[in-house]
Chain A
């Protein structure tokens, strides 16, 4: 019974993994970019 439950749970994880992978055929970039500042006075700065 316990094995069955673990099996089902593992199956769910794998399915979620597959779904997640299918959801991202072209992954969106998640990098925290270093944007130049919007005020030019002083030096440009990184913005998160």
Chain B
């Protein structure tokens, strides 16, 4: 990073105005030129500005910082103790506020990933906004991580299209810089996950294969398992069920030999989905039940909710009202628990649970008003086309049974148009 951009970054970090920093050293307009790299200041001026910013210049110390930073960056990619990551962050943050180091820009960029890892999405966005102004001074390596982490942020925020745009921009940088193979594999992996979420199945497979090649060479079984799960999902979507089962089984095996129960349960959820797609309800129920039975430390609340709502659907499908009702009660308890943690994310489950509850209680007016007036508008707003097709069709069928053909056609048409939208995506 150029010295001008570095000074600007440090000044913004300390919430100093240009006037405050320049006072008695240079004119404000000259400082502006230094910061924007329109002029090269003398070493004396740089030294005075650094002193005012409270920075030491120590190249030997900078080497140690660089090494420490690299270890910290690496720790943001593997399964590590979060407390250790926080402690190192605090140490580095303090060091870098005292010493003039070339590592500062990269450290500031990695803060975005750090906040994402800690689940502090607001802080990640704040950091992105803080760095936006500086991003024109980033070199190719900085830009690679800048785009990638902004992609990570967009993905976790549910904006998949923007995530893909950012990842593509990061990918364009790959040939221009030196990156470790595992870093390239991680980029391929996140692109694969994003494609898979966007239902771009073939692209998801292409990138998952690229990632798996590298993770295999690195003997990183945990990451290999993640890639096999992705491939399993993709093969199921193109109805190559044997290949799908093969990949999910491989992922499960890797999870088991690594004692990673979370991977095993993730595979169970996907095997449940696979058998549900094939219409083998009993088998699907078996796998979903496995997920529900696993410990709280293994399967998180939203994951458990996903499995329980999958069971509601399967039991309802085979007309087992007693078990459907039991699962609805279970889901409602989990939903209440989730509301105490954080509200918005679980809205989808609220609608699914209540839709089925009204159905089994034969409260058809409530069912109609919930699905037509709340659930469908919510799905449209969320652009959740998959669920929109399912519930618009469900409402269409319901009206058809009641002989309300005009209403029925309206929702069948919505399902049909939405379906076309998915196919054309």
Contacts and interface: CB of A to CB of B under 8 A. Distances in A.
Interface of A: 6, 9-10, 12-13, 16-17, 19-20, 23-24, 28-48
A37 B406 CA distance: 43
B412 A30 contact: no
| Contact count band on B | 35 or more
Contact of A30 (B80, B263, B386): B386
Query: Quick one: which of B75, B223, B302, B303 has the most chain A CB within 10 A?
Result: B303
Contacts of B405: 6, 9-10, 12-13
Contact of B79 (A29, A34, A38, A41): A41
Nearest to A26: B239
B313 to A, nearest CB: 10
B324 interface: no
Contacts of A31: 236-237, 273, 276-277, 386
Given A20-B416, A41-B80, A48 B348 contact: yes
Q: Is the interface of A mostly helix, strand, loop or mixed?
A: loop
Contact of B306 (A19, A28, A34): A34
B266 A29 contact: no
Given A38-B190, A41-B82, A47 B269 contact: no
B422 A28 contact: yes
Contacts of A45: 262, 300, 302-303
A45 B325 CA distance: 27
B416 A32 contact: no
A39 B412 contact: no
A35 B79 contact: no
Interface in B297-340: 298, 300, 302-303, 306, 310
Which 8 pairs between the two chains have the least Cβ-Cβ distance? A9-B405, A34-B269, A36-B226, A30-B386, A43-B262, A46-B303, A29-B237, A20-B416
Given A30-B386, A33-B196, A41-B80, A46 B236 contact: no
Given A13-B408, A36-B226, A42 B79 contact: yes
A7 to B, nearest CB: 10
B16 interface: no
Given A38-B155, A41-B80, A9 B303 contact: no
B76 interface: yes
A48 to B, nearest CB: 7
A34 B273 contact: yes
Given A36-B229, A41-B82, A46-B266, A23 B302 contact: no
